Amino acid sequence: MSVLVFAEHDGARVTEATRRAISAATTLGTPVDVVVAGGEEAASVAESLAVAGVNRVWLCLGAIYADQLAEPLAERVSRLIQDEGYQALVAATSTQARDLLPRIAAALDVQMLSDVIAIEDTETFVRPIHGGSVLARLRCREPVKVLTVRATRFERPEAGDLPAVERLEAGTESGPTRLLEEHGSASDRPDLASARVVVAGGRGVADVGIEELEALADQLGAAIGASRGAVEAGLLPNEAQVGLTAKVVAPELYIAAGISGAIYHVSGMKDSGVIVAINKDPEAPIFEVADYGLVADLREALPALRTALEQA
């Protein structure tokens, strides 16, 4: 099967999630090709694709891709798939992929599969439904499989040789959408989606103050995550939310502080290596997925944990 991976990048490097999407793609067919589109500054992105299983990088540079808007990208990628006869397109589940891949599937007149967590063979895929409480096994007989994969469910790929890079002519239709402004919060902390350690706060953090959570995260070099409860209470920003309808994470260590463990939250973090839960309610469902559970008030537990870490 000839497989194309859509690369998400920050203008310099592909994301960790894209690297794992490459791993997923290689279970459909090897080697795979990767398409990188962006403004002129994105030329160096190809250098971050020295990954096992990658054969060729299509590099498509042009001002119309600088803002990564879905319309021109969908037009160019679907044309590439048709011209080269690819039988599958794979991307990591992300905000960008949610916008882009349905457009590509529509342009190719195929149904797409989203949030795939396992690939059994070239036609059989597994994806969670009903908030992750049911796993659906699906057979897809479309001539081109268009799928997003939950990156945390696939291994990091091995390093490989630098692949061949081929320039791809940019499209000319920029589409009707323009990026006017972008609002984001700058942070020195690791990226939530790929951090090795995540310290996540829930509504219960209101009792102790967000500074306490931040101090713990700083001590551990961790990213900060949040439940929807914490976001709705104005304790943590929206982009920190973890869960079914937000970011899906699988760090080596996930500390859930004052989070009840609703299924919507758990389905976004249950693949983490070690889960530590701190909650004053011994019946809180978060303890069902926790490897280590501490029934305690955050007002005592977080300062004690920080002191212990300082002394370690």
Bridge partner list, 274:
253
Residue from the set 262, 275, 277, 305 that interacts with ligand FAD by CB under 6 A = 262
19 lies in the binding site for ligand FAD (CB under 6 A): no
Segment interacting with ligand FAD, rule: CB under 6 A, options 31-39, 134-142, 151-159, 241-249 = 241-249
Residue 198 or 244: the one with the smaller Cβ distance to ligand FAD is: 244
Count of residues interacting with ligand FAD (CB under 6 A): 27
Shortest Cβ 302–ligand FAD spacing (Å): 9
96 marked as part of a ligand binding site: no
- Residue 260 annotated as binding? yes
- Based on the shown chain and the rule CB under 6 A, indicate whether residue 306 belongs to the binding site for ligand FAD: no
Pick the closer one to ligand FAD by CB: 127 or 265: 265
Q: What kind and span of H or E run contains 200?
A: strand 197-201
Looking at beta carbons, which pairs linking 81-87 to residues 24 or more positions away fall under 8 Å? 81/4, 81/108, 81/144, 82/108, 84/2, 84/4, 84/33, 85/2, 86/2, 86/3, 86/4, 86/33, 86/144, 87/1, 87/2, 87/3, 87/29, 87/143, 87/144, 87/145
**Residue 89 backbone dihedrals phi, psi, to 5 degrees:** -125, 130
User: How far is the C-alpha of 263 from the C-alpha of 129, rounded, in Å?
Assistant: 12
Please, how many CA atoms are within 13 Å of residue 161, restricted to the half-sphere of its CB?
A: 6
DSSP letter assigned to residue 154: S
Q: How far is the CB of 256 from ligand FAD (least distance, A)?
A: 8
Provide the H-helix boundaries in the chain: 16-26, 70-84, 95-108, 210-220, 228-232, 263-266, 286-289, 298-311
Is position 293 an interface residue for ligand FAD (rule: CB under 6 A)? no
Minimal CB distance residue for ligand FAD: 243
Say whether 2 counts as a known binding-site residue.
Answer: no
Shortest gap between Cβ of 83 and ligand FAD (angstroms)?
38
Rule CB under 6 A: is residue 32 a binding residue for ligand FAD? no
Site string for ligand FAD, 191-210 (x = CB under 6 A): -----------xxx--x---
Q: Residue 197 CB, nearest distance to ligand FAD (Å)? A: 18
Asked if residue 31 has a cis previous peptide bond (ω within 30° of 0), the answer is yes
**Is position 275 an interface residue for ligand FAD (rule: CB under 6 A)?**
no
Which residues contact ligand FAD (rule: CB under 6 A)? 202-204, 207, 227-230, 241, 243-246, 258-260, 262, 264-265, 268, 279-281, 284, 297-299
